[in-house]
Amino acid sequence: MTVVTKVIRVVIIEDFKLTRVGLRCALNANEDIEVVAESDNAIDGLNFIKRLNPDVVLMDLGLAGMNGIEATIQVKEYNPNIKVIALTSHDREEEVIATLSSGAIAYCLKDIDPTKLADVIRDVAQGVCWLDPEIAGKVLNAFPRQDTIGILQDKANDKNRVPLTEREYEVLKHLVAGKSNTEIAKELIVSVHTAKAHVCSILQKMCVNDRVQAAVKAVKEGLV
């Protein structure tokens, strides 16, 4: 029986032509990813999105006219199910927070390896949040950290701590480091399905909605 793999349809909004061409060629080399449109500005990009309803949008932030943050807000207002990945050279804390607040589900720096970007697109298409490891630290630093010495010393006896298993604590450490389900699976030598199951269990036990919230809560409460 032949298994049909769903192709992830991608729209690229990037104002630098060479970058667009490079992204299109690299991504289209994957059998399960197809770049269905590309644009050098947000207005045309939004028109493509409304016409084609892609699964994922690669969004540059530094666009002329309407910037990537404003465009992301419009994408999510049009269709909340479309996943937006910020692909940018901007790494300032306030821009990262603003981008995630606008509805982007992932934040990648433009020097990301094409193979890694393809993995991020696959994870994001499944609803996984992803942050470049360099960016993850900036997000965590944006939140005041509590004094966790007592929590760390007494964590085993703390009735209020999150009831994670030892393996889930391992997964949480990788999650805080910004690793995808695929990378976590490789680190722990388990299947991607198992890694995803651990992440889902962690989110449920921590009473959070996504990986970013889990990472922030883990650092604030001294869980890692």
Residue-wise pLDDT for 135-191, tens only, equals 776 666 655 554 444 444 444 444 346 678 888 888 988 888 778 888 888 988 888
- Give how far Cα 73 sits from Cα of 65, 66, 135, Å: 15, 11, 20
Report how far residue 65's alpha carbon sits from residue 62's, in angstroms, rounded to the nearest whole number: 9
For 76-119, the pLDDT digits (tens) are: 999 999 999 999 887 777 788 788 878 898 999 999 999 999 99
- Output Rg (C-alpha) for the chain, integer angstroms: 18
Question: DSSP state, 146?
Answer: P
Q: Taking residues 25-43, report their average pLDDT.
A: 96
pLDDT for the residue numbered 60: 94
Mean pLDDT (the chain, rounded) = 83
> Which of 48-57, 58-67, 198-207 is most confident?
48-57
Count CB neighbours of 10 within 10 A: 25
Where would I find the H helices in 17-92? 17-28, 42-52, 68-78
Pairing state between β 130-131 and 56-59: unpaired
Look at residue 25 and tell me whether its pLDDT is greater than 60: yes
The structural domains of the chain, ordered by start, are 8-140 (3.40.50.2300), 146-220 (1.10.10.10)
Residues above pLDDT 70, as percent of the chain: 86
Cut 0.85: pTM above it: no
